[in-house]
Amino acid sequence: MPRIIHTADLHLDSPFSLLDANKAMARKAELRGTFSNIIAIASNENANIVIISGDLFDSEFVTKETIEFMNSQFSSVPFCKFVIAPGNHDFYSDKSAYSKSVFPSNVYIFNRNELQVFNFPDIKVCVYGWAFTQESMEKNPITHSIDTNPDYINILAAHADIYSSSSKYCPISEEDIARTNCEYAALGHVHEGTEVKKAGNTYYAYSGCPEGRSFDECGKKGVISVDFEKNSFGRWVPTFSYKRVCRRRYEKINLDITAVESKDEVVARIKHEMAKQSLGSETLLRVVLTGAVDQNIVSASKKITSEDIGTYYLEIQDRTIPLVDEQELLKDITIKGALYRELLPKIKSPDPEVSESAKQALIYGLAALSGSDVADFE
């Protein structure tokens, strides 16, 4: 029963510029750890092939340590073949790590921007695919239907965009996928993994990235494992399972803190929300505070740390509006009311910079008009 693991978009050696230098270095190491997790699955579950559908590296600049690490990992499962289809971030060129480094003999790398095939008679598998050879690839390499061998399991490994026919990143259509006549098309490029779908007789999916690298890549991440069995008509039938491999996860929480009375209450509300979503210490969390709130509490809440709530990283974003007696101010015929009515549309602006400066103007304005000391507002 042949078994294939499908992954893509690992982006090894990503800079993690959102984090401080120490954490960025730790995350780079963890990203390599995620690759080890994939290797461990391949090893423990006796996978025949691991398909890597592009963007294994974040750029053409790959450190020697990363290459050495990769090669020791590839060599640690000699019975497993690794097929790489370079993508737009790690395109194949004379200067790329793919052509400049020597890889173990169980690693197979597509190197042309047209349809190629690796034939593995020992396990009766054919892997079709191509490589990006520069940062973009506007042509579609599936120029005709493939005359696949029915005795073989036929796989397509491709970095491609199925969502836009005008994409600069190898636009292919569902019809193209169907024309490959493959049992499975293992796609890379889209970092949000998809369900397994079917075009003609070909199943296809984006595995998504196996480890999030920013708040654009939220949630648990993993790889797709595909098992093949022959049905009574002698056709290969795949079954799919998703396996989590990520070390950490990025998550966003929107929290309406209207009527909270202290920073501690905000901390408790964040923890409550984390418990509800089962977010643990591995989480990189962005909390967006909303609601009409006393700005002293908001200022204090902005100082909540990852230690306070037990996450790996915490970012607090303030989208609150100042707690004022809105009805009173809307009717207020003095300059206070005029100020409020003037600033209200800006306070409610979706642009956080506009909203923030309007809020500050209101806080300082109202404080000044009441004769109180604005220094308290920091």
Which residues contact Mn ion (rule: CB under 5 A)?
9, 55
- Cβ proximity to Mn ion: between 12 and 39 the closer is 12
- Cβ proximity to Mn ion: between 9 and 183 the closer is 9
- Cβ proximity to Mn ion: between 9 and 176 the closer is 9
H helices present in the chain, as ranges? 21-44, 64-76, 97-100, 174-179, 263-276, 295-301, 306-309, 326-331, 335-347, 352-369
Shortest distance (Å) from residue 191 CB to Mn ion: 6
- Cβ proximity to Mn ion: between 211 and 318 the closer is 211
Shortest distance (Å) from residue 87 CB to Mn ion: 6
Shortest distance (Å) from residue 78 CB to Mn ion: 28
Contact between residue 186 and residue 157 where contact means Cβ atoms under 8 Å apart: yes
- Cβ proximity to Mn ion: between 8 and 270 the closer is 8
Contact between residue 301 and residue 316 where contact means Cβ atoms under 8 Å apart: yes
Can you read off the two tokens belonging to residue 180? Answer: 């490959």
Shortest distance (Å) from residue 262 CB to Mn ion: 43
Shortest distance (Å) from residue 68 CB to Mn ion: 23
Shortest distance (Å) from residue 321 CB to Mn ion: 38
3-state DSSP assignment of residue 153: strand
Cβ-proximal residue to Mn ion, closest one: 55
- Cβ proximity to Mn ion: between 207 and 295 the closer is 207
* Residue at 81: amino acid letter: K
CA of 45: how far to CAs of 8, 197, 227, 247, 267, in Å? 19, 24, 11, 20, 42
Can you read off the two tokens belonging to residue 271? Answer: 């923890």
Shortest distance (Å) from residue 16 CB to Mn ion: 15
Q: Is 125 left (phi over 0), alpha (psi -120 to 50) or beta?
A: beta
Closest CA to 56 of 88, 104, 25, 79: 88
Contact between residue 282 and residue 252 where contact means Cβ atoms under 8 Å apart: no
- Cβ proximity to Mn ion: between 141 and 188 the closer is 188
Closest CA to 8 of 201, 171, 204, 153: 204
